Homo-oligomer: A and B are copies of this chain.
Amino acid sequence: MNLNQGAVSSLTVTDETAETFDHEEMLGRVASTLRRADLAVLAAKEPPLRKVGVSGSLYAVLANLEVTPGLTGAELARVVGVTPQAITPLVVKLVERGLIERRTHPRHANIQELQLTDSGRRETARADRIMLHLDNHIRDSLGDEDYQRLRVLLDVVVKSMPSWVPPPDESS
């Protein structure tokens, strides 16, 4: 688990000096709430995933290979959101377990396409049953309509991030 923000507390701040902003609002911002939500989901799904033998990272790799067979390590890294170097150990581990196969690309002697084995497909299905169950729980909590809405809103956030430019640091 990675910390990075995420906060919640039911404390009523007394007051502060002049240059202080709205503390109540601070931790209620979307960026904070988003992080908390992700942490909560993360903490919930990790234990059951490990019970079927995969860490969250490994599941991410397997799930993406299930959807998009033939991905290379670098492609996988981008899709999953990490550096290419971080993928290698995961791939090695999965190959050792016989869940995925490395196959050299037909036209590129250098790069390797990755693919699930039959055994890997079975394991992935087991893990995905858990994830599906979790998602259904969320859907039940929100209701169908809000569930869909949440997906859409989150997608907007994802797409809007690249166009953000940080403010200049005016520490005058």
Show the binding face of A for B, using Cβ within 8 Å: 1-9, 11, 13, 19, 21, 23, 26-31, 33-45, 47-48, 51-52, 56-57, 59-60, 63-64, 66-68, 79-82, 86, 125-126, 128-135, 137-139, 141-142, 146-147, 149-151, 153-158, 160-164, 166-167, 169, 171
Contact = CB atoms under 8 A, between A and B. Distances in A.
Nearest to A14: B69
A92 B6 CA distance: 20
B31 A158 contact: no
A135 to B, nearest CB: 4
29 contacts: A3-B56, A4-B57, A5-B80, A6-B60, A7-B67, A8-B79, A9-B64, A21-B132, A27-B64, A30-B151, A31-B41, A31-B131, A33-B150, A33-B151, A33-B158, A34-B154, A35-B38, A36-B158, A37-B154, A37-B158, A40-B158, A40-B161, A44-B161, A51-B166, A126-B169, A133-B167, A134-B164, A142-B157, A142-B160
A30 B146 CA distance: 11
A81 B1 contact: yes
A45 B2 CA distance: 15
Nearest to A27: B67
Chain A contact residues: helix, strand, loop or mixed: helix
A35 B151 CA distance: 11
